[in-house]
Structure 1
Amino acid sequence: MKYYRHLYLEEGLEKKKEKIISKLEKNKLQRNTHLIVLSANEKNHLDIIHSAFLLQPGYPGKNRLVVGIAGSYDGALELVEKIAGDVYKETGDVDIRNYIMSKEQGD
């Protein structure tokens, strides 16, 4: 998995970031972890997935860009709202996908 270099974290997860990422990389079950990833469908911006989906054989999410990590689905929704707000403040638009890709490439 790839992780956005400006990774969004739900409040309270900042100190656990490295531990969570390590468990994700080792395919360990994390019951309370939801990931906000860049959508595989280029017409959409973001998807919210439970980390357990990554444990399924052949799940296509292994190569996706993780934009945010939350401890609950509700927390993930709040992060998506924060991401959209940040993008709008910076650009005056809500083209989240292009904003994230340009930030990831160093612009």
Structure 2
Amino acid sequence: MQYYRHLYLTEGLKKKKSKIIEKLENNKFQMNIHIVTLANNKQNHLEIYHSAVLLQLNFPHDDFFVVGIAKDYEDALELVEEIVQEVYNETKGADIRSYILRKEQEE
């Protein structure tokens, strides 16, 4: 998995960011963690997964570009809303994928 340089995190997870990522990388179970990723197909923008999905054998999580981490599904939805609002405010459009990939290349 790759992680967005400007990773979006819900309230309360900022201090736990490195520990959560470490557990994701080591396939450790995390009860309420959801990740927001760029969609694997170009027709969609974002996808939400419960972290337990990543524990499945043969699940292709190497292909994921994680843009956000949330405490639960509702927080993940709010995170998606925050991302969409930021993209719209910055670009007056809704091309989330291009915006995130462009910001990833900056700096």
Task: Give the alignment's TM-score, normalised by structure 1.
Answer: 0.96
Displacement, 1:60? 1.7
Distance (Å, rounded) in 2 between the aligned partners of 1:9 and 1:24? 15
SS of alignment partner, residue 66 of structure 2: strand
Asked if structure 2 preserves the Cα contact closer than 8 Å seen for 1:54 and 1:62, the reply is no
Distance (Å, rounded) in 2 between the aligned partners of 1:20 and 1:62? 17
Q: Point out 4+ residue stretches in structure 1 off by more than 4 angstroms.
A: none
Q: Which residue does the alignment assign to 1:72?
A: 72
Displacement, 1:81? 0.1
Task: Give the alignment's TM-score, normalised by structure 2.
Answer: 0.96
Q: Which residue does the alignment assign to 1:62?
A: 62
Q: 1:41-73: CA deviations, max 9, x gaps?
A: 110000000011111111122321000000100
Distance (Å, rounded) in 1 between the aligned partners of 2:83 and 2:68? 9
SS of alignment partner, residue 15 of structure 2: helix
| Pair 1:10 & 2:10 matched | yes
Q: Which residue does the alignment assign to 1:85?
A: 85
| Partner AA of 1:54 in structure 2 | L
| Partner AA of 1:28 in structure 2 | K
Matches within 5 A, 1:11-30: 11-30=11-30
Question: How many equivalent residue pairs?
Answer: 107
Identity of aligned residues (%): 59
Distance (Å, rounded) in 2 between the aligned partners of 1:59 and 1:106? 30
Q: 1:20-49: CA deviations, max 9, x gaps?
A: 001001110001100000000110000000
Asked if structure 2 preserves the Cα contact closer than 8 Å seen for 1:34 and 1:48, the reply is yes
